[in-house]
Amino acid sequence: MTGPPVYIAAAGIISPLGRGMPATAQALRANTTAIAPLEAFPLLQGEPLPVGQVRDLGADPVLPRTHLLAREAARMAMREAKEPPEAIILGCTTGGILTTERLLRDKVADPQTYRYHGLASVAEDIAGLTGCRGPALTIATACSSSAVAITLAIAMLRRGGLKRILVGGVDSLSRLTYFGFHSLQLVDRQGCRPLDATRQGMSVAEGAAMLLLTTLRPDRPLGVVLGAGLSCDAYHPTAPHPQGRGAVKVMQAALADAGLPAAAIDYINLHGTGTPDNDLAEARAVTALFPQPPPLSSIKGATGHSLAAAGAIEAVAAILTLRHGFVPGTVGCRQPDPALGLMPQLTPIDRPVRTVLSNSFGFGGNNGSVVIGREDAGVAAAGPTVTAPLAVHGCACLTGAGPTRETMALLAEGRPVAGMMTAEAIAGHLPPRLVRRAKRLTRLALALAVAAHADNGGQDNPAAVFMGTGWGALTETCDFLDRLETSAEQFPSPTDFISSVHNGAAGQVAIHFGATAANVTASGGDYSFEQALLAADSLLEASGQSALLLGVDEGHDPLSPLLDPSVAAGNSLADGGGALFVNRDPVQAHALIRLAFYQQDEGDATVDQLVQALAGPDHDCAAVLVGIPAAETARGRRQLACFIDRCDRQLPVCEYRPLLGQFASASAVATALATICLGRGILPGAVVGGSDIPLGPGSRIVVLGTGRFLTAIECIRP
């Protein structure tokens, strides 16, 4: 383990088992299930399936159910905090979809009523609730989301720039997830029975949990996050690798990060969803890594599977086992499946626990494991982790004008490239087998990834994938909900459900390249690419690993005008994205990139901080590419004017959204443009309305993001 110890200062939890840590501990000791027939929303026909539902949540005329759950958990975690967190990192997959489903069904056409649809809206709401002025990050890696969020949080804390991060996960029940998992035949009508010989599937659930992590030792820490790991199966969009290859790799990574041997683990909290394939794959992974496994169990027979919240809820369960000295039982498992080769703990037992390994696996083969221990479990303090900047070795972009060559040719003349390519044109250079069932977002991501890889020479395959998307797969989401309505909820589309998850496109990229390291999708609205860049810089290994870094969004009529305020402002649909092939080796790199600034806007003082973050003795800023979302025009122009006023010299400026189009990941295209120009050694004057600008060693182009947050990506010629 490198970097300072990461303490758990406080935690909050709300789940089907109850509210708060005492109620959760009592329910786990009672070994009873909270799974019961669905009541959260009415069905058109049929008996409701068993789900894990939070009782007495109440309703709000504006805030969706997901936001209410997140608020309860956040208030608990911050109840005794004297200072606000410096960042929020939240795992989430549903956002405001339950409210959106109702609005779409009622044909509501007012975009303002959809303002809490996006996943980013939950993290931003919690930032406002807690007074956080730093980044509000959203991780969307399906059922591993909050485990990935915790992994990112400890990486950021270890680097030494931040001291307090509120991290967790939340999801609510919705028709999308309820009918989606049922369409895949992954739901057990008798309720979840993890590891049981007769298990037939999962029980969809909801909940939220938050951990306040800090490098400043609290008076009474709840525990320490000793280590964490990420991996990707790169095998199948939904099914795990049958031998648990990714599960083995992620547990090994977490143990190595914690500096612990497998024998040092006292309890394993299994992912244990109750689906036949998942339980078998995880069991094979555990037996491969632990010749004599410690006590282990799954609590999903008690809570149900709360999707993105599961990893955080089970991290709180791990804290309870440490503090109260017991191992939870496996509710629902009566006859352990002999084919698994494991004997789960069926009922709770009292025994000392110093270390817990907690697993979370999700669609797309996204795996996260976290090691949580008592303070005396072997924390070794060291200096902050220092890494080299990300070096770009391959680059690609795609806009309405076409791929990189066509887009760059028009931009060099100062001409706009906004619009949308046809789905057939996007897939024009891709193997038919790769895009046979892929819809728009996945096609865009694959086209960009393949092009960036080719620009690197096509030799070194990426080990990891980091992707930002503001709105995810709108086509599949719309098609799923449309079919659900037109069939009176009888024939939901399993294919559309599989691809509706925000990380589905990144999973397809990983499968194509065999990328089995970290696979992280961020969904932060207009700042999604910046969040993916931050994740890549925090998690990509210092040496020996390359990654694809993407930002991609699709335009969709009718959803984009309803969901994206910048499109709702009357702008034509546009989409596309950018992709960079990155590692830590600066030799022969096109450019070096870093996220130099990311803060919530608080007026001119924030601009002053931005200017200070960009200043330096070797600073040679050649130009600034500014993204002003149409919905934030007034604020963005004020921020830009203040920024120009604070600079010590007049800088060439390009407002890139009028050229590229109004879509969330336009900053990825701007970053690709900057990187390509730095590699070529010249910025065409038409881009900034002047003469050509030569770019020598050390020259920098800043990609500035404005609006609710101020961000700055520095692109530097080596």
Looking at the annotation, which residues are catalytic? Answer: 143, 271, 305
Cβ–Cβ under 8 Å, residues 602 and 133: yes
Q: Between helices 65-77 and 97-105, what is the axis angle to 10°?
A: 160
Rounded to an integer, what distance in angstroms lies between the CA atom of residue 663 and that of residue 630?
10
Q: In sequence order, what E strands does 441-574 have?
A: 464-468, 519-522, 547-553
Region of residue 182 (phi > 0: left; psi between -120 and 50: alpha; otherwise: beta): alpha
CA quadruple 154, 582, 531, 372: dihedral, nearest 10: -20
Rounded to an integer, what distance in angstroms lies between the CA atom of residue 396 and that of residue 429?
14
Rounded to an integer, what distance in angstroms lies between the CA atom of residue 288 and that of residue 262?
11
Transcribe 42-70 into DSSP letters. --SSSPPPEEE--SS----SSS-HHHHHH
3-class SS of residue 473: coil
For 537, phi and psi rounded to 5 degrees? -65, -30
Closest by CA to 168, choosing from 187, 152, 180, is 152
Give me the amino acid identity at 278: N
Rounded to an integer, what distance in angstroms lies between the CA atom of residue 113 and that of residue 300?
34
Query: CA-CA distances (angstroms) from residue 303 to 219, 533, 625, 629?
Result: 31, 34, 48, 41
Closest by CA to 247, choosing from 225, 277, 267, 224, is 277
Closest by CA to 191, choosing from 174, 208, 204, 177, is 204
